[in-house]
Amino acid sequence: MTDTNSAPYVVGIDLGGTNARAVLARRDGSILGEVSHPSESAGPAEGTFDVLARVVAEVIAEQGVKREEVAGIGVGLPGIITPQNHCIWSPNFPHWRDVPIKEMLDSRTSLPSFFLNDARCATLGELHFGAGRGVGSMVFVGLGTGIGGGFVINGKLLLGRNGSVGEIAHHTVDPSGPQCGCGNFGCWEVFCGRDRIVRRAMAKLQLGTESTLLTATGGRDLSPRAIAEAANDGDALAKEVMDEVGYYVGVGVANLINMLNPERVVIGGGVAQAGELLFGPIRRTVRARAVPFQAMGCEIVPAQLGSDAGVQGAVVLVLDRLGEHVAPGAA
Amino acid sequence: MTDTNSAPYVVGIDLGGTNARAVLARRDGSILGEVSHPSESAGPAEGTFDVLARVVAEVIAEQGVKREEVAGIGVGLPGIITPQNHCIWSPNFPHWRDVPIKEMLDSRTSLPSFFLNDARCATLGELHFGAGRGVGSMVFVGLGTGIGGGFVINGKLLLGRNGSVGEIAHHTVDPSGPQCGCGNFGCWEVFCGRDRIVRRAMAKLQLGTESTLLTATGGRDLSPRAIAEAANDGDALAKEVMDEVGYYVGVGVANLINMLNPERVVIGGGVAQAGELLFGPIRRTVRARAVPFQAMGCEIVPAQLGSDAGVQGAVVLVLDRLGEHVAPGAA
Listed residue (B204, B247, B206) closest to B227, CA to CA: B204
Q: Percentage of residues in chain A with pLDDT exceeding 70?
A: 95
For the question of an ipTM over 0.90, the answer is yes
For the segment B269-299, what is each residue's pLDDT rounded down to a tens digit?
Answer: 988 888 999 999 999 999 999 999 999 999 9
Residue B274 is predicted with a pLDDT of 87
The reply to whether residue B160 touches residue A251, judged by beta carbons under 8 angstroms, is no
> For position A270, what pLDDT does the model report?
84
- Mean of all residue pLDDT scores within chain B: 93
Q: Give the one of B80, B88, B261 whose C-beta lies nearest to A164's C-beta.
A: B261
Here the CATH number for the domain that contains residue A239 is 3.30.420.40
- What is the distance in angstroms between the Cα of B321 and the nearest Cα belonging to chain A? 17
Distance CA B179, CA A114 (A): 46
The beta-carbon neighbor of B173 closest among A80, A172, A261 is A172
| Residue B329 resides in a domain | no
**Is B330's pLDDT higher than 50?**
no
Length of chain B: 331
B101 plus B18 within the same structural domain: yes
As a whole number, mean pLDDT of residues B312-323 equals 94
Say if B124 falls within a structural domain.
no
Same structural domain, B135 and B186: yes
Distance of CA A311 to the CA centre of its chain: 10
Q: Which chain A positions have a beta carbon within 8 Å of B88's beta carbon?
A: 293
**Is residue B86 in some structural domain?**
yes
Closest-CA residue to B143 (of B18, B265, B312): B265
Taking the model in full, what pTM does it have? 0.94
Claim to verify: residue A242 and residue A221 sit in the same structural domain: yes
Q: What is the count of structural domains for chain A?
A: 2
Stretch A259-267: mean pLDDT, rounded? 98
* Cβ atoms A189, A146 nearer than 8 A: yes
Q: How far is B158 from chain A (nearest CA, A)?
A: 8
Residue B270, pLDDT score: 84
Residues 6+ apart with CB under 8 A from B185: A289, B172, B175, B176, B177, B178, B179
Q: Following DSSP, what letter does each residue of A209-266 receive, concatenated?
A: ---HHHHHHTT-S--HHHHHHHHHTT-HHHHHHHHHHHHHHHHHHHHHHHHH--SEEE
pLDDT on residue B210: 86
**A9: DSSP letter:** E
- Within a domain: residue A327? no
**Amino acid found at B285:** T
| A47 part of a folded domain | yes
Residues A200 and A291 in one domain: yes
Domain containing residue A193: 132-303
Instruction: Assign A173 a pLDDT band (cuts: 50, 70, 90).
Output: very high
Q: To the nearest whole number, what is the mean pLDDT of chain A?
A: 93
Residues B89 and B153 in one domain: no
B326 is a domain residue: no
Q: Count how many residues are written for chain A.
A: 331
A160:B262 CB<8 A:
yes
* Cα–Cα distance for residue pair B283/B291, rounded to 1 Å: 13
Residue A208's pLDDT is what? 84
Q: Say whether pLDDT at A328 is over 60.
A: no
pLDDT greater than 70 at residue B219:
no
- Examine the domain organization and report whether B153 and B25 are in the same domain: no
pLDDT score of B208:
84
Nearest chain A Cα distance for residue B331, angstroms: 22
Task: Answer yes or no: do B183 and B77 share one domain.
Answer: no
**Is the same domain home to A202 and A281?**
yes
- On whether both B164 and B72 belong to a single domain, the answer is no
Sign of CA dihedral B77, B82, B88, B91: negative
Question: What are the pLDDT digits (tens) for A222-240?
Answer: 899 999 999 999 999 999 9
Confidence band for A331, pLDDT divided at 50, 70 and 90: very low
3-state helix, strand, coil in chain A (%, to 5): 45, 20, 35
Q: At what angle do helices B236-260 and B276-289 cross, to 10 degrees?
A: 40
Q: What confidence tens digit (pLDDT) does each residue in B161-205 have?
A: 999 999 999 999 999 999 999 999 999 999 999 999 999 999 999
Share of chain A above pLDDT 90, in %: 85
Average pLDDT over residues B257-263: 98
B267 shares a domain with B246: yes
For residue A154, the chain B residues in CB contact (below 8 A) are 159-160
pLDDT of residue B318: 96
pLDDT grade, residue A210 (50/70/90)? confident
Q: Which of A300, A253, A289 is nearest to B170 (CA)?
A: A289
Mean pLDDT of B249-265: 98
Structural domain includes residue B327: no
Domain match, B243 and B268 both: yes
pLDDT per residue as tens digits for the range A55-107: 999 999 999 999 999 999 999 999 999 989 999 989 899 999 999 999 999 99
**What is the model's pLDDT at position A2?**
40
A144/A250 same-domain check? yes
Out of B136, B185, B293, closest to residue A164 by CB: B293
Q: How far is B141 from chain A (nearest CA, A)?
A: 12
Chain B residues in contact with A293 (beta carbon < 8 A) = 80, 88-89, 162, 164
The predicted-structure confidence for B132-156, as pLDDT tens digits, reads as follows 999 999 999 999 999 999 999 999 9
User: For testing the chain A interface, which of B291, B296, B298, B299 should be mutated: the one with the most A CBs within 10 Å?
Assistant: B291
Residue B295 lies in a domain: yes
